[in-house]
């Protein structure tokens, strides 16, 4: 199953969803679309997502242009503090994020997520 953490108001998220939907349709894969602002991720889910991204740099998951990024001093935050902030303020999560087979990629640019579907 492919999962996309999606914000329907974001053009990059919509573009990524279209790419992922086409791949899912072509390959008869299930697609789960999660509007993470309506169904926020909890701390453990965010931790798993960070691991799936293949990095321990939580900054990759943060939208640094949001007002809370500065007010909560997230540029200096440790992983636990940053993930807690995202759980409390879902709009801080970088978008979109696509997961497939225990790996994840951020759709910036949207084509970046296609790397998840390449055969090794």
Residues in the chain: 120
Contact 48, 102 (CB under 8 A): no
Query: Are 87 and 58 contacting, i.e. CB atoms less than 8 angstroms apart?
Result: no
Strands (E), 28-102: 31-35, 97-100
Contact 32, 118 (CB under 8 A): no
Write down the residue that tokens 């321990």 correspond to.
56
- Active-site residue flag, 35: no
The catalytic position among 1, 4, 10, 38 is 10
Using only C-alpha atoms, the chain has a radius of gyration, in whole angstroms, of: 14
Catalytic residues: 10
């Amino acid at each position: 199953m492919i999962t996309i953490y999606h914000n329907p108001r974001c053009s990059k998220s919509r573009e990524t969803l279209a790419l992922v939907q086409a791949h899912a349709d072509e390959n008869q894969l299930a697609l789960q679309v999660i509007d993470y602002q309506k169904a926020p991720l909890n701390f453990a889910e965010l931790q798993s997502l960070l691991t799936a991204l293949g990095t321990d740099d939580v900054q990759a998951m943060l939208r640094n242009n949001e007002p809370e990024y500065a007010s909560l001093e997230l540029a200096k935050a440790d992983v636990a503090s940053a993930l807690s902030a995202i759980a409390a303020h879902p709009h801080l999560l970088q978008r979109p994020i696509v997961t497939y087979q225990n790996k994840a990629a951020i759709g910036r640019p949207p084509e970046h997520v296609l790397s998840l579907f390449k055969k090794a």
